[in-house]
Amino acid sequence: MRRGAAKSQNARSFLGIMCPPTWSISTDIGSGSKSLRIISDWARRQPSAVRGIVYFETQVRPRSWDEFGPAQRGLFERLRSPEGEEMVLQQNVFVETLLPLWIIRPLSDEEMAVYRRPFLISGEDRRPMLTFPREILIGGEPQHMLGVVEDYGHWIE
């Protein structure tokens, strides 16, 4: 068994032991995250253990590039290209540029320090921030996410 598959199985076993039959699931940003996939997969397999699901920005259907405005599309295309390596791994574009743009008020130096803390070291420490936009299913890519997203959509119905 692959190491990742073993971790997923261990997480599912833990959830089966620790979660009472009336727990609810709250998910967040992007169904590409491994923790969300594990939790959603477990809940789908244990429907009697789920009282309700709350989700925010979870992808439950394939999306097309036509659903994105020009600025969004351009950003995601750059992040998913070789240019994304420089943008995220070296420039820390999510924390240094995008986060301040997406917040409706200026962030203090103290707040920015908290957001920067996990990503202070350039390179592989920032890899999760690059993987995230590359795992969102857009225009049928990445192909390995198609079945995951379709399964979520059918299950949520």
The mean predicted confidence, pLDDT, of the chain is 81
Q: What is the pLDDT of residues 56-73, one digit of tens each?
A: 667 778 899 999 999 999
What are the phi and psi torsion angles at 43 (to 5°)?
-65, -40
Q: What pLDDT is stored for residue 31 in this prediction?
A: 47
Bond before 62 cis per omega within 30 degrees: no
Given pLDDT bands bounded at 50, 70 and 90, which one contains residue 10? low
Contact residues for 142 (Cβ-Cβ < 8 A; gap 6+): 134, 135
Given pLDDT bands bounded at 50, 70 and 90, which one contains residue 22? very low
> Exposed, middle or buried: residue 150 (CB in 10 Å: 0-12, 13-18, 19+)?
middle
Q: Is the dihedral of CA 81, 37, 28, 17 positive or negative?
A: negative
